[in-house]
Every structure is written in structure tokens, then in C-alpha cells.
């Protein structure tokens, strides 16, 4: 079975999703499991990992409720306040659900580029191992050296890099992103998602070949066994339909071995997030 390791759900309101501007009109609607299932099934994708889109405890609970109701959703990466003195209570609450498999904070939006090195944030990360939770790293290229420091500090904590750290594919910039990707890939506790790439290029004029040098760098740094496919649906639809976005990865990995392709399409995600069969 193939797994989409990165997608989002929401019931749209302008107040709660202020980042969705007029140029993203396609996102200004509800996006729910049945909508995604209709797109994923023809591609052989039978399971997904739903990732937080808002930094609220209420959304985390809502995603877990969706996972309980919909077999498509195998795991949830939710939000908790990693800097809170009440963090343990939050983790204990959500870990009663077998679908709670990881945590994410929107570090890319923090005004402090050193946010991940704050003592309260590091203390929060340290608590995740006790609960068997992964951590999704959402950053820009400038944050990669800091991510390396964090990965080194917590060698037993599973980390996954979202959206290959959002390099500026639109203008073809490779460095220092590629150098820092290699440095991060040297840490065995870090994996990488092939997600969020189409939104970092020209939404209307991209070609599959635009992504090839970036995919080359990621595969060199991590190897297929530490790489997983993620669509970033529905956000990806501002730049192309679901099947077309998945086709970028399909075209790139077609010359890999059967086992390597299986890892990228689901094996890595299943192992990393400890996803249960349903």
C-alpha cells in the first residue's frame, strides 16, 4: 500500500486561515477525508498522515477524531505547545489515541531564527521520546544549520524534514541549501519528505525537470530508505492537481529498485510513524 505522508484537512473560515490569500482561492473551501480519498485511490494510495495546519489543541483533537472515523487516515501529526509547563498533560491527553504519531510546530513563522535552540522548546522536544512521538521539522533553508544542531543533540529522537526545507526552486537556487541538506542527512535519526515542492516554484509554468536537481541532492543526502512521499494536499493544488504532483515523484523514482520505490511510497512512512494497519 502507498502512503501519503503529508496532507492537511480543514473546514475553511477566513478568520482561522488568514494565510490563504486571494491567489489561493482553490483552498478557500472545506477539504476533508472523503475529498482526498477520491483523489488518492486511483494512485494506489490507501493511507495518509494528516498534519496540523493550525497551532491549536482543538485542531489536534479534531484531526484525531477524523482519524478514528476514516480508515484512510493512518496517523496524525498534531500541535502541542512544546514550550508549555503543561506539555506533559497535553501529550498524555492525545496519546490516548493510537493515531497520534507526531508533533509539529510552525518554526518557519517564528520571528526568532534561533527558536529551535530555546531552552523551553528543547525541553519540549526531550519529552517526545517518552511518548514515542516523531517530530516534523518545518523550516526554511536558513534554519538548516540549526536543525543540524538539534538533530545532533537528540540522536534518539526521530525527526523528519518537511518540504525538503523549502528551497527557492523558482529561481533555481541550490546553495547553501544543498550543502546544508547533506549535513542534515548525515544524522541517521533524520528522514525527509518529498512534499511541498510545487509551491516553491512558478505555480503556472513549472516542469517536472525543475525538481530534478533538488531531488538528486535529497536522495544523495538521505537515500531512499529515509525518504517518504507527501503531497501537501490541498495546498499543492494551487500549483497542480493531486495526480500531477504525485507524478513528479513517480517519474523520478521509476528507475530505482522495487524495494527502494516501496520505501519512498510508503515503507519509510509506515516505519517512521509506526502506522498501524487498518
Specify the CATH number for the domain of residue 105: 3.20.20.140
Residues 6+ apart with CB under 8 A from 262: none
In a domain? residue 105: yes
CA distance 3 to 230: 8
pLDDT > 60? residue 167: yes
In a domain? residue 278: no
Mean pLDDT (whole number) for 36-50: 98
- Confidence category of residue 277, pLDDT binned at 50, 70, 90: low
Please tell me the total count of domains within the chain. 1
Cβ contact 228:220 at 8 Å: no
pTM above 0.75, yes or no: yes
My answer on whether omega of the bond before 176 falls inside 30° of 0, hence cis, is yes
In a domain? residue 40: yes
Give the three-state DSSP class for 258.
Answer: helix
Alpha-carbon Rg for the chain, nearest whole angstrom, is 17
In a domain? residue 165: yes
What local confidence, expressed as pLDDT, does residue 1 receive?
Answer: 85
Domain that holds residue 50: 2-273
Total residue length of the chain: 278
- Confidence category of residue 219, pLDDT binned at 50, 70, 90: very high
What local confidence, expressed as pLDDT, does residue 206 receive?
Answer: 96
In a domain? residue 143: yes
In a domain? residue 211: yes
Cβ contact 51:100 at 8 Å: no
Q: 85: which DSSP letter?
A: T
Residues 6+ apart with CB under 8 A from 119: none
What local confidence, expressed as pLDDT, does residue 161 receive?
Answer: 98
Amino acid at each position: 500500500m502507498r502512503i501519503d505522508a503529508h496532507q492537511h484537512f480543514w473546514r475553511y473560515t477566513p478568520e482561522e486561515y488568514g494565510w490563504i490569500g486571494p491567489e489561493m482561492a482553490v483552498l478557500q473551501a472545506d477539504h476533508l477525508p472523503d475529498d482526498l480519498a477520491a483523489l488518492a485511490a486511483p494512485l494506489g494510495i490507501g493511507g495518509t498522515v494528516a498534519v496540523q495546519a493550525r497551532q491549536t489543541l482543538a485542531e489536534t483533537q479534531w484531526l484525531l477524531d477524523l482519524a478514528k472515523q476514516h480508515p484512510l487516515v493512518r496517523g496524525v501529526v498534531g500541535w502541542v505547545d512544546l514550550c508549555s509547563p503543561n506539555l506533559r498533560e497535553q501529550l498524555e491527553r492525545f496519546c490516548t489515541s493510537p493515531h497520534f504519531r507526531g508533533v509539529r510546530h510552525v518554526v518557519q513563522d517564528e520571528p526568532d531564527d534561533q527558536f529551535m535552540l530555546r531552552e523551553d522548546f528543547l525541553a519540549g522536544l526531550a519529552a517526545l521520546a517518552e511518548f514515542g512521538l516523531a517530530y516534523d521539522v518545518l523550516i526554511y533553508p536558513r534554519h538548516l544549520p540549526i536543525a543540524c544542531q538539534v538533530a545532533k543533540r537528540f540522536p534518539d529522537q526521530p525527526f523528519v524534514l518537511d518540504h525538503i526545507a523549502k528551497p527557492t526552486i523558482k529561481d533555481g537556487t541550490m546553495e547553501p541549501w544543498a550543502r546544508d541538506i547533506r549535513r542534515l542527512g548525515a544524522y541517521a535519526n533524520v528522514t525527509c519528505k518529498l512534499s511541498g515542492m510545487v509551491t516553491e516554484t512558478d505555480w503556472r509554468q513549472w516542469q517536472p525537470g525543475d525538481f530534478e536537481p533538488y531531488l538528486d541532492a535529497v536522495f544523495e543526502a538521505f537515500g531512499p530508505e529515509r525518504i517518504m512521499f507527501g503531497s501537501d494536499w490541498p495546498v499543492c493544488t494551487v500549483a497542480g492537481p493531486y495526480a500531477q504532483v504525485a507524478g513528479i515523484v513517480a517519474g523520478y523514482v521509476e528507475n530505482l529498485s522495487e524495494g527502494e520505490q516501496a520505501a519512498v511510497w510508503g515503507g519509510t512512512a509506515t516505519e517512521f510513524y509506526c502506522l498501524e494497519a487498518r
